[in-house]
């Protein structure tokens, strides 16, 4: 007994002294415009190699949606030096893993490899950037695969269409009108040339950021990056290189007025043939032009309410407000506001709508931050026999309350603690650090945000939260979607077997 | 600390000569020297109240997690299926010290994650909040108080979630998989329904918690920014006062091997894709020596990445799907394999064909060297990468203790993996895989149903609901209940009028039937003797190796049952009254006068045959009789008896009808009662003038 009491008095202040190590990194630009970020960390003998292409669904043409995501699939099909299906095999048989993901704003590819395969990872990614195979065989296969992905992730999943349905209504001018999965009809209608053009436009050095993290030696890694990425031609010269590889002699001559044979692809940036060198230099000096949409200020003009019938059993309500872009100084306050309303089981929406009133099975909200605009979405899946109107009344009460009164000091501290915890957890894996470095550089122009991101939240005051609530939670201008079960299809008896 | 070198074999490519500024991109980079792999040993110690503590120290981030895991076996919940998961959801509903609101507030205040399920309680928080975090965690563990209001709320909410199961094809397929792979009564086979949810009381929840959550035999897995000294102190401070019962332990019925493929269809109106799951149980346990080669086999088959047989065939080659994977679920109390994916409606049948084709193919030939090497490399890579997470190290330590694995099980993992040959893989395929005894589960649009029949061994697709219960399609009967009884009597007695039937029956005063009984669990022969004398004297006994296991009799006014286990029990008044309603050799002859209540439900499909379903109510119990619509013979009977608070269901099926004195009797019967099944084969059936009850009393 005595022992226990004694122990109770011991303070564990010593535990507090551990704090998170700063993430050290080096960053630089290659002459061809690729931005490089390297982070050395030896706790596990693995390395993450990634390339972020600053192209997402918002860079697509309105009549060719789904391209950015489609490329995420297509670019595993192989390159000039890597056979069809071999790309992932090369990674896997060397003990690695690979994947990619696409958002409205960017496409991100990565490999996680044993650290002795660093060079392989760099070579693989450089191959993908320089000369991936964009051909009908691969296009056909991946087209079907993407269609199945859409059926599985969107069409066949209850409520899953709410994101596209909201974006469609929120943005009528900006290409956030559609989401990365895009339109299957557009993919069908597209020709091989459309795909080739997309690759030539967006998969260029000036549009990419390399991030490598893990058990590496910085000097050695720089050498590999130099070898495989610095050798990729600058500006429009990359497409000249691709034409040397893909065009017939005649077509090449007609286009460039120089014989293809004069170009040595193994030493493209230092050609001996002066005529060819002149052509390369000319195209290298022509900067890549990346089409980017203009930001719009569009917001809903009034309350736009719609009903969607889905294959669901429980009705659901989605309310969306226009938020600013993620880099806007107001955004951290909006994220914290969101946390007050739905972060954790003590959050306001959970306590009232789910627990006290038992009107919804789940109530959640999130601050959707993108490069050009943002959105705040509040949602609830109704409990059995509860009307969506009554749920809306409750959500609105919570919104009115947070617009009217400062959040309590206790709630404020709670939210700050929650953000601190999230921040620490976000850098738990090498792959996570690698991706955070790239994202922060591209979106915020500051890779170091991996270390000081928390500051922007710790600066937010209770008054800021009240202010942004009033600024953005506009009750007279928002989108409300009601999800209702499809009227029961009369099911006839099962045909006799 | 141990070191394993060279876990990745280098590719053995020629190292290119690097010339400045010149790159030959066709040369693939060679691997550098393989890094060493370290698996840090975890610290293991036990507490005085029986907790095994496993500590994996890691100071990379200022975070700690504590996971308290119980070691009880899963429990059969029967009519209360879902009890364990409801309890899991309620654990964080408050303690005798803190209301739920208070608990939620304090937990969120430190930004901690505190969560619970049916067998564990988990805490994760920043190091600086560990004292507060453990204060909350131990409060819950020791003083969870399960308030009525939260119980009611979670129950209501669960009713709603059960509804949404009907819109999730994956949940429906999972429910069907559980029911198809594991025998009735096995905890893995149980699926919560609205009915079973209603049967759960708050008292059940409290009892369950007390039974399962006990320090004896539990594991506390600590991962993160803490030293052993600190961990020891914290465990002592927060968990030494926790006490409880012994470990709950129950026997599990193993899955039996089925014969032939069985197709199960679950309707999902409006579906644009079918969820297909081809699955079968496996007789393998965690840590068995077959586990690793079986995992290699499964990874080649469909468990690995893009290069697997299923993925290459169904996604890359045929583009039927976004992904087709196989999962090997090796659990302590029952294992299974499932190959599944989402396929668009029009290729549902083709996809099944291809999955079965691949299952068959892999049992019929060696995997290629490339496949084997690739898979081994992938697994070695996964293993190496998984070591980044301190949770992995802790899990290894937990598994070694939990499944009694050799201490160096994970240290030798890569070496054992490396030594697996294609012969080993084929052996695993032939031992465990099958394309002929699978459960083929399809959740989808009704339009795909007609294409599924071809895959079922007996050509009959079972249609289940979202919770794995068979859907009975009942059609209206084309005759009345009286007509049915008449036709049955005429068929059994092989006469053309009731008058003749009665005459024929009246002549028969008594019979004795001797049968041979086989019970799968009993290795010795069992015999049964049944006698009857008009109007309603009857008796039966079951004997094995010269011993009477059970006997019963009824002499028209009194009766009793004597069994070896429970002794003699006299029939109750109600039972005697019920017997009175069912008299005569052919009780149906007397339904009009005996007071038996019965109604004709309709026509149902019974294993491919159409049957009339007749519901009987004799005052004490309900039963259902099934009559073949063509022959009018009684082919099945289900009797529901209520004993105390339990429903007992006895199902009898009758086959091989033979004529004795002009009357048709079944010579083969199968009786299923709870988990027991008996097969009865009649040896002799003799009519007599009278019988003697003496040896049955």
Question: Contacts of residue B149 in chain A, CB cutoff 8 Å?
Answer: none
Does residue B221 share a domain with residue B302? no
- Percentage of chain B exceeding pLDDT 70: 94
Interface check for A343 against chain B (CB to CB < 8 A): the answer is yes
Does residue A307 share a domain with residue A178? no
Does residue A188 share a domain with residue A80? yes
CA distance A248 to A261: 11
Cβ contact (<8 Å) for B21 and A421? no
Is the per-residue pLDDT at B620 higher than 60? yes
CA distance B134 to B127: 11
CA distance B544 to B526: 5
Q: Is B621 helix (H, G, I), strand (E, B) or coil?
A: coil
Does residue A318 share a domain with residue A226? no
In a domain, A225, yes or no: yes
In a domain, A17, yes or no: no
CATH of the domain at B662: 2.50.20.10
Interface check for B191 against chain A (CB to CB < 8 A): the answer is no
Stretch A316-322: mean pLDDT = 98
Q: Let me know the angle formed at the C-alpha of A259 by A258 and A261, rounded to the nearest 5 degrees.
A: 140
From the candidates B58, B103, B109, which should be mutated to test the interface with A, based on the most A CB atoms within 10 A? Answer: B109
Looking at residue B647, what is its pLDDT?
A: 60
Total Cβ atoms within 10 A of residue B627: 23
What is the least distance, in Å, from the CA of B154 to any CA of chain A? Answer: 9
Does residue B511 share a domain with residue B406? no
Does residue B536 share a domain with residue B675? yes
In a domain, A247, yes or no: no
Looking at residue A3, what is its pLDDT?
A: 34
Looking at residue B523, what is its pLDDT?
A: 62
* Closest to B598 (Cα-Cα) out of B612, B585, B584: B612
Structural domain span for residue B601: 481-696
- The answer to whether the peptide bond before residue B535 is cis (omega within 30 degrees of 0) is yes
Looking at residue B587, what is its pLDDT?
A: 82
Report residue A65's pLDDT band, with 50, 70 and 90 as the boundaries: very high
Mean pLDDT across chain B, nearest whole number? 88
CA distance A52 to A438: 7
B118-165: per-residue pLDDT in tens? Answer: 999 999 999 999 999 999 999 999 999 999 999 999 998 888 888 778
Cβ contact (<8 Å) for A152 and B342? yes
Looking at residue B671, what is its pLDDT?
A: 81
CA distance B283 to B287: 12
Task: Judge whether B394 and B56 are in contact, CB under 8 Å.
Answer: yes
* Closest to B296 (Cα-Cα) out of B437, B435, B416, B409: B416
Interface check for A456 against chain B (CB to CB < 8 A): the answer is no
Q: Which residue from A minimizes the CA distance to B26?
A: A81
Report residue B520's pLDDT band, with 50, 70 and 90 as the boundaries: low
Report residue B626's pLDDT band, with 50, 70 and 90 as the boundaries: very high
Does residue B269 share a domain with residue B206? no
In a domain, B160, yes or no: yes
What is the least distance, in Å, from the CA of B378 to any CA of chain A? Answer: 5
Structure tokens at A486: 């499809």
A368-380: per-residue pLDDT in tens? Answer: 999 999 999 999 9
> Domain tally for chain B?
3
What is the least distance, in Å, from the CA of B8 to any CA of chain A? Answer: 7
Report residue B546's pLDDT band, with 50, 70 and 90 as the boundaries: confident
Is the per-residue pLDDT at B17 higher than 50? no
Report residue B592's pLDDT band, with 50, 70 and 90 as the boundaries: confident
Does residue B523 share a domain with residue B435? no
Question: Alpha-carbon torsion B406, B407, B412, B413, what sign?
Answer: positive
What is the least distance, in Å, from the CA of B2 to any CA of chain A? Answer: 15
Where is mean pLDDT largest: A32-46, B636-650, B662-676? A32-46
Check residue A380 and report its DSSP letter. E
Where is mean pLDDT largest: A53-57, B25-29, B252-256, B692-696? A53-57
Is the per-residue pLDDT at A342 higher than 70? yes
Which of B226, B233, B270 minimises the CB distance to A311? Answer: B270
CB pairs under 8 A between A and B: 299
Task: Judge whether A86 and A320 are in contact, CB under 8 Å.
Answer: no
Does residue A225 share a domain with residue A329? no
Looking at residue A17, what is its pLDDT?
A: 34
Does residue A50 share a domain with residue A174? yes
Is the per-residue pLDDT at B102 higher than 90? yes
Task: Judge whether B16 and B183 are in contact, CB under 8 Å.
Answer: no
Does residue B502 share a domain with residue B447? no
What is the least distance, in Å, from the CA of B320 to any CA of chain A? Answer: 7
Q: Which of residues 238-297 of A touch B (CB under 8 A)?
A: 265-267, 269-270
With 0-12 / 13-18 / 19 or more C-beta atoms within 10 angstroms meaning exposed / middle / buried, residue A45 is: buried
Looking at residue B504, what is its pLDDT?
A: 87
A266-310: per-residue pLDDT in tens? Answer: 889 889 999 999 999 999 999 999 999 999 999 999 999 999 999
Does residue B274 share a domain with residue B161? no
Does residue B546 share a domain with residue B441? no
Structural domain span for residue A149: 26-235
ipTM: 0.84
What is the least distance, in Å, from the CA of A274 to any CA of chain B? Answer: 17
CA dihedral A449, A451, A456, A461 (to 10 degrees): 170
Task: Judge whether A386 and A359 are in contact, CB under 8 Å.
Answer: yes
CA count, 13 A, side-chain hemisphere, A97: 13
Q: Which phi and psi angles does B248 have, rounded to 5°?
A: -75, 135
R_g of chain A computed on alpha carbons: 26
Interface check for A188 against chain B (CB to CB < 8 A): the answer is no
CA distance B137 to B107: 9
Does residue A319 share a domain with residue A220? no
Question: Contacts of residue B13 in chain A, CB cutoff 8 Å?
Answer: none
In a domain, A75, yes or no: yes
In a domain, B540, yes or no: yes
Does residue B485 share a domain with residue B448? no
CATH of the domain at A481: 3.30.830.10
Q: Is A41 helix (H, G, I), strand (E, B) or coil?
A: coil
What is the least distance, in Å, from the CA of B635 to any CA of chain A? Answer: 20
Does residue B635 share a domain with residue B499? yes
Q: Which residue has the tokens 């697996």?
A: B420
Which of B24, B128, B373 minimises the CB distance to A15? Answer: B128
**Treating both helix axes as pointing N-terminal to C-terminal, what angle do A430-444 and A449-458 enclose, rounded to 10 degrees?**
70
CA distance B127 to B224: 9
Q: Which residue has the tokens 């586990």?
A: B291
Q: Which residue from B minimizes the CA distance to A6?
A: B237
In a domain, B204, yes or no: yes
Looking at residue A9, what is its pLDDT?
A: 31
CATH of the domain at B358: 3.30.830.10
Structure tokens at A318: 């989605």
Question: Contacts of residue B234 in chain A, CB cutoff 8 Å?
Answer: 12
Structure tokens at A365: 């909200």
Looking at residue B556, what is its pLDDT?
A: 82
Does A483 or A142 have the greater pLDDT score?
A483
CA distance A420 to B223: 19
Structure tokens at B480: 């009345």
Contacts of A163 (CB under 8 A, 6+ apart): A179
Where is mean pLDDT largest: A428-432, B456-460, B602-606? A428-432
Query: In Å, how far from its chain's centre is CA B256?
Result: 11
Does residue A311 share a domain with residue A205? no
Distances (CA, A) of B475 to A390, B269, B478, B605: 42, 21, 9, 9
Task: Judge whether B420 and B296 are in contact, CB under 8 Å.
Answer: yes
Does residue A321 share a domain with residue A215? no
Does residue B198 share a domain with residue B97? yes
Question: Contacts of residue B382 in chain A, CB cutoff 8 Å?
Answer: 95, 97
Looking at residue B6, what is its pLDDT?
A: 35
Q: Which residue from B minimizes the CA distance to A422?
A: B111
Q: Which of residues 210-239 of A touch B (CB under 8 A)?
A: 215, 224, 227-228, 231
Cβ contact (<8 Å) for A497 and B29? no
Stretch B508-533: mean pLDDT = 82
Q: Domain boundary at A188, A203, A235, which?
A: A235
Does residue A109 share a domain with residue A230? yes
Where is mean pLDDT largest: B29-43, B82-96, B459-473, B673-687? B82-96
Q: Domain boundary at A220, A235, A250, which?
A: A235
From the candidates B100, B108, B229, B325, which should be mutated to test the interface with A, based on the most A CB atoms within 10 A? Answer: B108
Does residue A312 share a domain with residue A229? no
Does A64 or A494 have the greater pLDDT score?
A64
Task: Judge whether B39 and B396 are in contact, CB under 8 Å.
Answer: yes
CA dihedral B300, B7, B291, B375 (to 10 degrees): 0
Is the per-residue pLDDT at B18 higher than 70? no
Looking at residue B316, what is its pLDDT?
A: 83
Structure tokens at A405: 């009164």
Looking at residue A196, what is its pLDDT?
A: 95
Looking at residue B645, what is its pLDDT?
A: 52
Looking at residue B608, what is its pLDDT?
A: 65
In a domain, B31, yes or no: no
Interface check for B34 against chain A (CB to CB < 8 A): the answer is yes
In a domain, A298, yes or no: no
In a domain, B24, yes or no: no
In a domain, A16, yes or no: no
Looking at residue B324, what is its pLDDT?
A: 94
Interface check for B387 against chain A (CB to CB < 8 A): the answer is yes
Question: Contacts of residue B105 in chain A, CB cutoff 8 Å?
Answer: 346, 410, 414
Does residue A204 share a domain with residue A80? yes
A103-151: per-residue pLDDT in tens? Answer: 999 999 999 999 999 999 999 999 999 999 998 888 988 888 888 888 8
In a domain, A256, yes or no: no
Checking phi first, is residue B260 left (phi over 0); if not, alpha (psi -120 to 50) or beta? Answer: left
Looking at residue B23, what is its pLDDT?
A: 83
In a domain, B4, yes or no: no
Does residue B591 share a domain with residue B678? yes
Q: Domain boundary at A235, A268, A284, which?
A: A235
Check residue B128 and report its DSSP letter. G
Does B343 or B573 have the greater pLDDT score?
B343
Cβ contact (<8 Å) for A345 and B107? yes
B435-475: per-residue pLDDT in tens? Answer: 999 999 999 998 899 999 999 998 889 999 999 988 877 88
In a domain, A374, yes or no: yes
From the candidates A123, A152, A155, which should be mutated to test the interface with B, based on the most B CB atoms within 10 A? Answer: A152
From the candidates A16, A77, A225, A345, which should be mutated to test the interface with B, based on the most B CB atoms within 10 A? Answer: A345
First CA to last CA distance, chain A: 73
> Domain tally for chain A?
2
In a domain, B35, yes or no: no
């Amino acid at each position: 007994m005595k022992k226990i009491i004694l122990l109770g008095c011991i303070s564990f202040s010593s535990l507090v002294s551990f704090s998170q190590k700063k993430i050290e990194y080096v960053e630089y630009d290659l002459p061809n415009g690729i931005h490089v970020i390297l982070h050395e960390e030896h706790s596990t003998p693995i390395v993450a190699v990634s390339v972020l292409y600053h192209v997402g669904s918002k860079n697509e043409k309105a009549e060719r949606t789904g391209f950015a995501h489609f490329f995420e699939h297509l670019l595993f099909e192989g390159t000039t030096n890597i056979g069809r299906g071999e790309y992932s095999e090369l990674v896997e048989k060397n003990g690695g893993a690979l994947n990619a993901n696409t958002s409205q704003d960017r496409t991100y590819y990565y490999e996680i490899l044993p650290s002795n395969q660093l060079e392989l990872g760099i070579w693989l990614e450089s191959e993908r950037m320089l000369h991936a195979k964009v051909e009908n065989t691969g296009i056909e296969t991946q087209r079907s695969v993407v269609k199945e992905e859409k059926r599985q992730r969107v069409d066949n999943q209850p409520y899953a269409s709410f994101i596209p349905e909201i974006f469609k209504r929120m943005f009528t001018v900006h290409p956030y009108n559609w989401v990365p999965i895009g339109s299957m009809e557009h993919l069908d209608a597209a020709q091989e040339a459309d795909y080739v053009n997309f690759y030539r436009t967006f998969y260029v050095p000036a549009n990419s950021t390399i991030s490598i993290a893990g058990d590496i030696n910085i000097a050695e890694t720089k050498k590999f990056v130099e070898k495989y990425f610095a050798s990729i031609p600058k500006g429009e010269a990359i497409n000249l290189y691709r034409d040397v590889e893909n065009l017939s002699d005649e077509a090449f001559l007609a286009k460039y007025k120089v014989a293809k044979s004069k170009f040595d692809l193994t030493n493209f940036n230092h050609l001996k043939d002066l005529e060819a060198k002149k052509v390369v230099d000319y195209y290298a000096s022509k900067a890549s032009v990346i089409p980017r949409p203009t930001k719009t200020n569009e917001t809903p003009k009034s309350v736009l309410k719609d009903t969607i019938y889905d294959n669901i059993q429980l009705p659901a309500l989605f309310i969306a407000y226009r938020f600013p872009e993620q880099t806007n100084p107001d955004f951290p306050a909006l994220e914290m506001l969101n946390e007050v309303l739905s972060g954790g089981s003590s959050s306001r929406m959970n306590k009232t709508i789910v627990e006290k009133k038992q009107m919804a099975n789940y109530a959640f909200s999130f601050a959707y931050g993108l490069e050009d605009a943002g959105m705040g979405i509040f949602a609830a899946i109704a409990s059995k026999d509860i009307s969506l109107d009554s749920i809306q009344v409750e959500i609105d009460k919570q919104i009115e309350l947070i617009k009217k009164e400062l959040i309590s000091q206790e709630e404020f501290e709670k939210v700050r603690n929650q953000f601190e915890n999230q921040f620490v957890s976000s850098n738990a894996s090498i792959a996570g650090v690698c991706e955070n470095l790239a994202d922060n550089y591209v979106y915020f122009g500051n890779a170091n945000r991996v270390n000081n991101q928390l500051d922007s939240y710790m600066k937010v005051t209770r008054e800021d939260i009240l202010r942004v609530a009033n600024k953005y939670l506009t009750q007279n201008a928002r989108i409300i979607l009601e999800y209702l079960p499809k009227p029961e299809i009369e099911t006839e008896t099962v045909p006799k077997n | 600390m141990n070191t394993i070198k060279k876990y990745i074999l280098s590719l053995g490519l020629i190292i290119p000569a690097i010339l400045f500024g010149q790159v030959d991109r066709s040369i693939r980079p060679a691997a550098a020297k393989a890094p060493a792999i370290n698996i840090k040993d975890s610290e293991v110690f036990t507490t005085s109240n029986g907790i095994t503590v496993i500590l994996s120290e890691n100071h990379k981030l200022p975070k700690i997690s504590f996971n308290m895991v119980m070691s009880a076996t899963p429990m059969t919940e029967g009519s209360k299926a879902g009890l364990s998961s409801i309890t899991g959801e309620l654990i964080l509903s408050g303690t005798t010290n803190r209301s739920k609101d208070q608990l939620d507030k304090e937990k969120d205040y430190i930004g901690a994650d505190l969560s619970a399920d049916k067998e564990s309680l988990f805490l994760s928080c920043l190091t600086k909040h560990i004292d507060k975090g453990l204060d909350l965690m131990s409060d819950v563990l020791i003083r969870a108080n399960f308030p009525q209001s939260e119980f009611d709320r979670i129950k209501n909410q669960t009713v709603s979630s059960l509804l949404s199961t009907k819109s999730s094809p994956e949940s429906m397929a999972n429910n069907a998989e559980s029911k198809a792979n594991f025998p009735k009564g096995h905890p893995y086979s149980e699926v919560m329904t609205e009915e079973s949810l209603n049967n759960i009381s708050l008292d059940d929840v409290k009892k369950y918690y007390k039974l399962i959550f006990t320090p004896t035999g539990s594991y506390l897995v600590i991962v993160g920014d803490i030293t052993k000294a600190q961990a020891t102190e914290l465990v002592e401070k927060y968990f030494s006062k926790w006490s409880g019962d012994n470990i709950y332990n129950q026997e599990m019925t193993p899955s039996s091997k089925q014969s032939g493929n069985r197709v199960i269809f679950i309707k999902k109106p409006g579906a644009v894709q079918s969820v297909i799951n081809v699955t079968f149980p496996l007789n393998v346990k965690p840590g068995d020596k077959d586990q690793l080669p079986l995992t290699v086999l499964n990874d080649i088959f469909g468990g690995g990445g893009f290069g697997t047989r299923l993925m290459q065939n169904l996604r890359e080659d045929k583009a039927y799907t976004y992904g087709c994977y196989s999962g090997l679920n090796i659990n302590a109390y029952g294992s299974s394999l499932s190959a599944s994916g989402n396929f668009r409606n029009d290729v549902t049948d083709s996809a099944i064909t291809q999955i079965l084709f691949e299952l068959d193919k892999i049992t019929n030939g060696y995997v290629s060297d490339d496949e084997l090497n690739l898979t081994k490399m992938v697994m070695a890579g996964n293993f190496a990468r998984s070591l980044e997470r301190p949770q992995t190290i802790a899990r290894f330590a937990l598994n070694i203790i939990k499944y009694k694995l050799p201490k160096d099980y994970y240290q030798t993992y890569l070496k054992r993996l490396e030594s697996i040959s294609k012969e080993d893989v084929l052996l695993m395929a032939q031992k465990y895989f099958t394309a002929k005894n699978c459960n083929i589960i399809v959740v989808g649009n009704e339009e795909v149903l007609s294409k599924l029949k071809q895959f079922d061994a007996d050509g009959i697709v079972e249609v289940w609901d979202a919770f794995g219960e068979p859907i009975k399609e009942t059609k209206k009967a084309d005759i009345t209940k009286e007509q049915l009884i008449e036709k049955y009597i005429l068929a059994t007695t092989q006469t053309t009028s009731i008058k003749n039937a009665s005459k024929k029956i009246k002549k028969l005063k008594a019979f004795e039937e001797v049968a041979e009984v086989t019970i799968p669990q009993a290795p010795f022969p069992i015999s049964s003797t049944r006698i009857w004398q008009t109007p309603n004297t009857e008796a039966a006994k079951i004997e094995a190796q010269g011993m009477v296991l059970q006997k019963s009799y009824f002499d028209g006014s009194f009766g009793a049952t004597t069994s070896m286990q429970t002794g003699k029990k006299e029939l109750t008044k109600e039972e005697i009254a019920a017997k009175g309603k069912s008299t005569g050799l052919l009780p149906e002859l007397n339904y009009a006068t005996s007071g038996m209540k019965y109604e004709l439900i309709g026509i149902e499909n019974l294993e491919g045959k159409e049957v009339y379903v007749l519901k009987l109510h004799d005052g004490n119990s309900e039963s259902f009789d099934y009559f073949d619509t063509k022959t009018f013979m009684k082919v099945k009977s289900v009797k529901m008896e209520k004993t105390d608070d339990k429903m007992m269901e006895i199902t009898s099926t009758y086959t091989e009808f033979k004529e004795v004195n002009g009357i048709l009797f079944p010579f083969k019967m199968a009786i299923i009662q709870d988990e027991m099944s008996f097969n009865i084969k009649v040896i002799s059936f003799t009519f007599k003038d009278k019988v003697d009850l003496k040896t049955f009393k």
